[in-house]
Structure 1
Amino acid sequence: MATARRAVAVLAAVLVAAFTPTAAQAGTDDASTTGDIGIMAAHKSPFGCGKTFYANNWSPGHNPSGAIDWQSYGDDAVGGETVRATASGTATFSTTLSADVGILAYGNYVTITHGDGTKTRYAHLATMVRGAGQSMTVAQGTAIGTVGGTGGDYAPHLHYEQITAGGALDTSPTVEGVTVSLGQKKAVTSTNNCGGNPYSPAEVCGGGFSVIDQKGLTGGTVYLLYNSGNSDNCVVTLKSTNLGAATAVSAFLEPQGGTRTTDSGSYTYYAGPVKRSAPGVCVKWGGSVGSSTYTSPFEHCD
């Protein structure tokens, strides 16, 4: 079992790139756990499932250079379209109706800080779901506003930026796996908000972890993951129902001969990650969604 376990984990470590969560969502947790939080994911389109719009990286003449203007495509008008987070994080809502952000007039705009310190910005919004100066935790696909032309005499469009952790603008941003470099204009179809939990167990646990076991629950699935690099185990319970609503969910992990660590609370998407090192011993793991629970025997002995 140990050999097979390590082989699976090593292969997944090569294939999976993920970021470790950094901030807990409201809930009742152990101090050692985190619950639902903003973590980085590959960027999707800022629009709803199946929507197709032009991503236009104007060059020259766009300010700042490298930002994308999302514009109407065919008979699909972008004006008034719901704008959604392209990746999870913490959204901050702002209004600048004059050119007081550098030399830019963003109008109503939202800045989302992602789990790895990168940011995205969504500007010229007609409406926002929160008032200026407020913030909220968002998942990939969360609605943050609607497309407009605020901040100047603009035709309705969405001004969109991807910003590195160092503060530089990415001049060749990628959404839906499509890179739009300077001077390019591409039609991009959204897979954002197409249903299902926007998180994966590997994203929640972080880089180097791979799924080695799982158990279906009514309303979700509890996963056991393993990191061959440091012999750490990780448990996360992902919801499949009541997504986006805070409901009871939990995850736990117990090395044989040691204490149990549990994360439980009212979460919108998942409980965990619960991480424990257990070199040379078996682990008991499990979790719950509502009244549906699972507890394993001691198994997966390293």
Structure 2
Amino acid sequence: MPAPSRLTWPKSLTLAIPTLLVTLAAAVLSQPAPASATAGAHDSGVLAVTHKSPFNCGKTFYANNWTGGHNPEGSIDWQDYGGDDVNGETVRATAAGTAYFYDAGSTSYGKWVEIRHSDGTRTRYAHMSSMVKSAGSTLSVSQGTAIGTVGSTGNSSAPHLHYEQRTSGGGMDTSPTVEGVTVSLGQKKAITSSNACGGGSNPYTPEGVCGSGYAVIDSAALTGGRTYLLYNSGNGYNCVVTLKTSNLGTASAVSAFLEPQNESRTTDSGSYDYYAGPVRRDAAGQCVRWGGSVGSSSYTSGFEHCG
């Protein structure tokens, strides 16, 4: 049997192999590293979104990035400053994004919100006494949109706002920057808010104030606002809320009332930042009189929407 023939390379290809290998190696080295290899470097980077204070324009509170048991380390506790009590203050988005609403009950963060920003970073706002949406809801927010109020829910010993800035990978930024002021570990700084100083639209909606199941069935314009009548077909209740369109974020006179026919009137009135109400009454099968006011402008309906 003849010996098998030997496969031989053309001389020109043999000479070209070293050059080809060098070219391929250079191409491989020039490719970007896979996402998993760069994640750590990205997580430790500086947050790209610019954050304002989570409070009303002109409000000053302490941002306390304390060490020694704070969990997670690097988060800020917003606390009283001078004679200003942070409890009950409106909490605002420090930057635009999508807000996710949660409720951990009497544990952990209590009532809390996470806002996911356009660059993948996140902020968290915890221990709130109330939220503008129910747990499980989402809301597209602008910088300055109200998301709740300061409280002491969850694992909290006193009213304050727990605040975090997190990278897109979920890691903590342990030296967060708010209003251009960096608060590093162990620091406590008084910061004045420039958030929501430009006015804008009311961040609340009638449905959001009255709650799940309510739909607007009537409304009336006021100078500086609008009053709304809503109905919940599931439980037979009406709800009235008056939303301001001027002097937003500043306490001023506003009211809302609801009166089922042949029954007493229920009214909510006071100096409020954004709205009066909700005033809810069982009115199944009844006519109702409703209305509200903003400043000196008021509206009162006749008895209507019967049934």
What is the TM-score when the length of structure 2 is the normalising length?
0.50
Report the CA distance between 1:206 and its aligned residue.
1.0
Aligned ranges 1:236-251 → 2 under 5 Å: 236-251=241-256
Identify the residue that residue 104 of structure 1 maps to in structure 2. Answer: 73
Any conservation in 1 of the 2:47–2:121 contact (CA below 8 Å)? no
Any conservation in 2 of the 1:99–1:105 contact (CA below 8 Å)? no
| SS of alignment partner, residue 53 of structure 2 | strand
Task: From the superposition, tell whether residues 198 and 282 of structure 1 become closer, same or farther in structure 2 (CA, over 3 Å).
Answer: same
Q: Which residue identity is paired with 2:54?
A: R
Q: Which residue identity is paired with 2:234?
A: G
Aligned ranges 1:1-302 → 2 under 5 Å: 71-73=46-48, 78=50, 81-84=51-54, 95-102=64-71, 104-106=73-75, 108-110=76-78, 130=81, 134-141=85-92, 164-166=103-105, 167=107, 175=115, 186=120, 191-193=142-144, 195-302=200-307
What CA distance in whole angstroms lies between the structure 1 residues aligned with 2:292 and 2:256?
A: 4
Number of aligned positions between the proteins: 187
Identify the range of structure 1 (222-231 vs 186-195) with the bigger mean alpha-carbon deviation. Answer: 186-195
Any conservation in 2 of the 1:254–1:261 contact (CA below 8 Å)? yes
Task: From the superposition, tell whether residues 95 and 204 of structure 1 become closer, same or farther in structure 2 (CA, over 3 Å).
Answer: same
| SS of alignment partner, residue 83 of structure 1 | coil
| SS of alignment partner, residue 209 of structure 2 | helix
Any conservation in 1 of the 2:244–2:274 contact (CA below 8 Å)? yes
Residues 123-145 of structure 1 show CA distances to partners (whole Å, capped at 9, x for unaligned) of: xxxxx7836994233335377xx
Q: Which residue identity is paired with 1:284?
A: R
Any conservation in 2 of the 1:94–1:132 contact (CA below 8 Å)? no
Any conservation in 2 of the 1:176–1:190 contact (CA below 8 Å)? no
What CA distance in whole angstroms lies between the structure 1 residues aligned with 2:244 and 2:258?
A: 18
Q: Which residue identity is paired with 1:235?
A: V
| SS of alignment partner, residue 186 of structure 1 | coil
What CA distance in whole angstroms lies between the structure 2 residues aligned with 1:285 and 1:226?
A: 12
Task: From the superposition, tell whether residues 72 and 129 of structure 1 become closer, same or farther in structure 2 (CA, over 3 Å).
Answer: farther
Q: Which runs of 5+ in 1 are unaligned?
A: 1-57, 63-67, 86-91, 111-127, 147-160, 179-184
Identity of aligned residues (%): 44
Task: From the superposition, tell whether residues 132 and 93 of structure 1 become closer, same or farther in structure 2 (CA, over 3 Å).
Answer: farther
Any conservation in 1 of the 2:226–2:244 contact (CA below 8 Å)? yes
Q: Which residue identity is paired with 1:260?
A: R
Task: From the superposition, tell whether residues 133 and 269 of structure 1 become closer, same or farther in structure 2 (CA, over 3 Å).
Answer: closer
Report the CA distance between 1:254 and its aligned residue.
0.6
| SS of alignment partner, residue 137 of structure 1 | coil
Q: Which residue identity is paired with 1:208?
A: G
Residues 15-42 of structure 1 show CA distances to partners (whole Å, capped at 9, x for unaligned) of: xxxxxxxxxxxxxxxxxxxxxxxxxxxx
Report the CA distance between 1:236 and its aligned residue.
0.5
Structure with the bigger RCO (C-alpha within 8 Å, sep 6+) is: 1
What is the TM-score when the length of structure 1 is the normalising length?
0.51
Answer with 1 or 2: which has the greater Rg: 2
What CA distance in whole angstroms lies between the structure 2 residues aligned with 1:242 and 1:233?
A: 27
Task: From the superposition, tell whether residues 70 and 263 of structure 1 become closer, same or farther in structure 2 (CA, over 3 Å).
Answer: farther
Moved >6 Å (runs of 4+): 58-62, 187-190
Q: Which has the higher helix share?
A: 2
Q: CA RMSD in A?
A: 4.1
Q: Which runs of 5+ in 2 are unaligned?
A: 1-37, 56-60, 123-139, 146-199
Residues 210-263 of structure 1 show CA distances to partners (whole Å, capped at 9, x for unaligned) of: 111000100000000000011000000011101111111111111111111111
